[in-house]
Structure 1
Amino acid sequence: MKKLFKYIFIGLIGICSSCSKFEEINSNPEATDKVTSAMLATRIIINLANQPSQKSFMHPYLLNKNIVWTEFVESYQYNGFGAGSLGFTSLNDAHFMVDFASSEKLARSYEGLMYFARAVKFFEATMDLGDIPYQEALKGESDKVYFPKFDEQKDVFIGILNELDKADKAFSEGEKFTGDPLYAGNTEKWRKLVNSYALNVLIQLSKKESVNELDIKNRFAQILNNRPIFTSNADNFQLIRSDKSGQTYPFYKVGNNFTIYPIVSSEIIERLKSLKDRRLFYYANPSAKRLKDGKQVSDFDAYVGIDPSLPYDNVLAIKNSTDYSKLNDRYLEIPEGEPTQQLSYAQLCFIISEAASRGWVSTEAKEWYKKGIESSMKFIYSNTPNTVQYHHGMPLDDSYISTFVTDLAANFPTNLEARVEAIITQKYLASYLQSEYATYYDYRRTGYPKWKINPASSLNSEAPNKIPVRWKYPDSEYSFNSKNLQEALDRQFNGVDEINQLIWILK
């Protein structure tokens, strides 16, 4: 028994003596053992700027009527909505960027990023759902608030705009910071983004311009006239792609089994053809049937879109006929593709043009309209190899752009409603496979572009002649925060969580 105890004791000594080496043996000498502000910043920025890949990349562009999907019936193509999400939970640890900063100026820069990220995530959530938790959101760890109350949408927007103001001020008092894959920590670039994004938020409130608490017109004018905003495509809120694992264009062909399914929508092709707009030749490939019948790749009539509202059987019949346009090869063949945008200079130009048309600011609406079209075309041209494969002999060179923009602007409407339609239509054409749900938000707010709706194919059972105006609240809120959710539903929609119920900004 004593001998057995002796062996056990010696074994324990051996184990304990090796414990001190365990950490050393199991540590990766090339990995950091401490979370830094830069590491958190990179994760947060990528979360804000990135888009999903392969089929998931295409989902918003089915809703936006950019493309038609031919694999099987896709709900967004036929206006079927389910539950949304409260994506701001990804910011639970954003405040640590500030806490871990090594200087006061760096802390201010990371604070600016925190405020901006909060504004973006709360904006996306309220745009999709309506009333959301705001004042009590993200306070589970700090204040033990695990079941946050829902704020009215007006108050959420006031909070978003105030956080963008705070972000601009913080960046103005900060310094260059690390961990930034977008602007390399340039705080002036971030100020341009923050203020351009604020203008984007304000234009989405166009139906509420008379609400005093929002002060929409004065806010818009103050930002436009006194703060830095985007001035070129170099400022775009975008991810520049590369031929590296995890960084390629989201619909690049390698490892992508879904490249055979998308067809360019007639909502895009017919508008471009009617204007003789060469962006058509960069967005689409010509119809195989039209080429066989003698059309040239440089003929506008060689391009054929499919009406996304057609019943699925009709879509399949057209696909079997080969008389349709696939995506341009540049979306599939080039690993880097084009940068993927969340907000572009072109879109900002159209936002300012609309605000000027509405009388919010005293600047020339037509000039911003022209700038928007021009910058859209230059973005495409500068991010596409100058070969016939990708522009079909119809390049967007400077001479063409200048003539096209001048001619189009000559017919810029004089009355407000026609102007809004022209602006939103051009904003739509400039946002092809870009900015996720931005053009849906514009459609929902203005009714433009006038997309075709077919009650016979609609999955919106409650209102088959309409596109839904919101998503339902996520199941998690029903499971864990049902009392507060029910209060919000009663306040907004008479207790019914339904996709055709108007949220406050649309009333």
Structure 2
Amino acid sequence: MKKIVTYLLIGLFGTTISCSKFEEINTNPEATDKVTSGMIATRIILHLANQPSQKGFLQPYMLNKNVVWTEFVESYQYNGFGAGSLSFSAINDAQFMPQFATSEKLAKSYGGLMYFARAVKFFEATMDLGDIPYNDALKGETDKQYFPKYDTQKEVFIGILKELELADQAFAAGENFAGDPLYGGNTTKWRKLVNSYTLNVLMQLSKKVGDADLNIKNRFQQILANKPIFTANADNYQLIRSDKSGQQYPFYKVGNNFTIYPTMSTEIVDRLKTRSDRRLFYYGNPSPKKITGGMTAANYDAYVGIDPSLKYDNILDIKNSNDYSKLNDRYTEVVTGEPTQQLSYAQLCFIIAEAAVRGWINEPALAWHKKGVEASMQFIFDNTPNTAQFHHGMPLDAAYISTYVGGLTLPTGTESQIEEIITQKYLASFLQSEFNTYYDYRRTGYPKWKINPETSLNSEATGKIPVRWRYPAVEYDYNTENVDAAVSRQFEGVDNVNQLMWILK
């Protein structure tokens, strides 16, 4: 009996000790016990800059005709659209970054990031859908506004441009900040990104150049003349990859069961061959049949694309013939691959070249056009191992780039010049920038992609690529009155993928 009592006392005493020490024992001394501005910043920046992996990574590039998918019929390849997304969860805590900052200048910097992140997410949503909630968005917690009204697309763009302006001002008044995987918290580089991104937004509004409220030409001129913008590839809005879990190139082969399905598209291959452009040798591999037949990998004719508008059975026949080009090995064999971009210096150069052709600015369009091609080629050369496996004996070395760029010209006529600039922008954006190439096509009609009515999944307009996504079903389920009002206002009550949104009219 005594032993039992003793054991009970020891047990009770031990329990008391354990309870009193529980928090101390279970606290990680190396981990923070509160959220910081930098922690929120990292999460938000990675969400903005990152891209999906494996098959998800290639989905946008099926739509913009970079690749042809050979596993099954893919909707994007055949111009089939469904419902889009309308979620701002990635930025629902952005306002806490400046609130948690430990100094006034840091609060400015984190405020700049907040404005930029908001502008990006609203821009992406309105570009896909049209009118969206803006003024009432993200007010569920603060104002109990659970069913936000939709603002007109014009109102949304006015708001986006204002937030980008505020972001630039905030970064200018701030100081370098923590939690930034892109630029190491350098506020000058963030200003370059904000202003370059603004020029991209303004160009997407090219059909509204006469709108006095948007003041597109003047805004473009003022930024180009007075504010920092990208000046080199080092400024790119991109994620540099590493050999760490979750940070590898999105289509790297390990754990990726989809590497056998993508092939090069004729839309890319044929344009590069026509221009004798060595980027072809970095984007694709030669056709095995052409190599077996005696061609060398350094021969432009050894590269064969597949027409993405062909019937799926015909595509499979070509694949079975072994006379086609796969993606270059660097996309699957190099763990770090190349940095994945959302906006690059090369793309900015083409934006400025287009603005010059349109008469928005007094700049030499050809000079900026040349800068864009040069930056694209240099980016590829700098981020690819310099071996025959990845360039097939046709390297983008300094001598080649200099000669090629020196020989570039622009055709006569405004529309022809815009077509060439957009086409080169397209070629510079291979497996980069997600849907941006599609936005350019939708706005300008360039590049002139082949559309086959016999294979089109755009059932109501088989000769066209859709110009928007439908509103998501959850909006009709829970925000019915407001989404119905938006559809009625824009599209005469029909939420259709072929209806022109305001910026396209």
The whole-number CA distance in structure 1 between the counterparts of 2:135 and 2:9 is 58
Within 5 Å, which residues of 2 pair with 1:303-452? 303-409=303-409, 412-452=410-450
Give the aligned CA root-mean-square deviation in angstroms. 1.5
Please say if residues 150 and 484 of structure 1, whose CA atoms lie closer than 8 Å, have aligned partners that are also in contact.
Answer: yes
Aligned-pair distance for 1:9? Answer: 12
The whole-number CA distance in structure 1 between the counterparts of 2:114 and 2:15 is 46
Could you tell me which residue of structure 2 aligns to residue 491 of structure 1?
A: 489
The whole-number CA distance in structure 2 between the counterparts of 1:89 and 1:148 is 15
Query: For residue 473 of structure 2, what is the amino acid of its counterpart?
Result: D
The whole-number CA distance in structure 2 between the counterparts of 1:25 and 1:452 is 65
Aligned-pair distance for 1:87? Answer: 3.4
The superposition leaves residues 239-266 of structure 1 with CA deviations (integer Å, 9 ceiling, x where unpaired) of 0001111111000001100000000100
Within 5 Å, which residues of 2 pair with 1:189-268? 189-268=189-268
The superposition leaves residues 135-193 of structure 1 with CA deviations (integer Å, 9 ceiling, x where unpaired) of 01001111111111000000000000000000000000000101000000000000000
Could you tell me which residue of structure 1 aligns to residue 141 of structure 2?
A: 141
The whole-number CA distance in structure 1 between the counterparts of 2:193 and 2:12 is 61
Query: For residue 233 of structure 2, what is the amino acid of its counterpart?
Result: N
Q: Is 1:99–2:99 an aligned residue pair?
A: yes
Query: For residue 443 of structure 1, what is the amino acid of its counterpart?
Result: Y
Report SS of the residue matched to 1:48.
helix
Report SS of the residue matched to 1:448.
coil
- Structure 2 length normalisation: TM-score? 0.97
Could you tell me which residue of structure 2 aligns to residue 3 of structure 1?
A: none
Aligned-pair distance for 1:398? Answer: 1.1
The whole-number CA distance in structure 2 between the counterparts of 1:214 and 1:318 is 49
Query: For residue 272 of structure 2, what is the amino acid of its counterpart?
Result: L
Please say if residues 454 and 464 of structure 1, whose CA atoms lie closer than 8 Å, have aligned partners that are also in contact.
Answer: yes
The whole-number CA distance in structure 1 between the counterparts of 2:88 and 2:216 is 25
The whole-number CA distance in structure 2 between the counterparts of 1:48 and 1:151 is 23
Please say if residues 88 and 125 of structure 1, whose CA atoms lie closer than 8 Å, have aligned partners that are also in contact.
Answer: no
Aligned-pair distance for 1:480? Answer: 1.4
Please say if residues 267 and 451 of structure 1, whose CA atoms lie closer than 8 Å, have aligned partners that are also in contact.
Answer: yes
The superposition leaves residues 2-44 of structure 1 with CA deviations (integer Å, 9 ceiling, x where unpaired) of xxxxx99999997666433332233233322110000000000
Could you tell me which residue of structure 2 aligns to residue 71 of structure 1?
A: 71
The whole-number CA distance in structure 1 between the counterparts of 2:58 and 2:467 is 20
Unmatched 5+ residue regions in structure 1? 1-6
The whole-number CA distance in structure 1 between the counterparts of 2:34 and 2:300 is 58
Report SS of the residue matched to 1:197.
helix
Query: For residue 393 of structure 1, what is the amino acid of its counterpart?
Result: G
Could you tell me which residue of structure 2 aligns to residue 173 of structure 1?
A: 173
The whole-number CA distance in structure 2 between the counterparts of 1:89 and 1:245 is 24
Could you tell me which residue of structure 1 aligns to residue 58 of structure 2?
A: 58
Within 5 Å, which residues of 2 pair with 1:22-37? 22-37=22-37
Could you tell me which residue of structure 2 aligns to residue 87 of structure 1?
A: 87
1:473/1:13 CA distance change after superposition, 3 Å: farther
Query: For residue 416 of structure 1, what is the amino acid of its counterpart?
Result: T
Aligned-pair distance for 1:89? Answer: 2.4
The whole-number CA distance in structure 1 between the counterparts of 2:191 and 2:275 is 36
The superposition leaves residues 103-159 of structure 1 with CA deviations (integer Å, 9 ceiling, x where unpaired) of 000000000000000000000000000000000100111111111100000000000
- Structure 1 length normalisation: TM-score? 0.96
The superposition leaves residues 200-242 of structure 1 with CA deviations (integer Å, 9 ceiling, x where unpaired) of 0000000000011000000000000000000000000000001
The superposition leaves residues 449-473 of structure 1 with CA deviations (integer Å, 9 ceiling, x where unpaired) of 0000011111111111100000011
Aligned-pair distance for 1:479? Answer: 1.6
The whole-number CA distance in structure 2 between the counterparts of 1:298 and 1:491 is 56
Could you tell me which residue of structure 1 aligns to residue 471 of structure 2?
A: 473
The whole-number CA distance in structure 2 between the counterparts of 1:98 and 1:16 is 43
Unmatched 5+ residue regions in structure 2? 1-6
Please say if residues 239 and 340 of structure 1, whose CA atoms lie closer than 8 Å, have aligned partners that are also in contact.
Answer: yes
Report SS of the residue matched to 2:323.
coil
Question: Which stretch shows the higher mean deviation, 268-277 or 470-479?
Answer: 470-479
Query: For residue 39 of structure 1, what is the amino acid of its counterpart?
Result: M
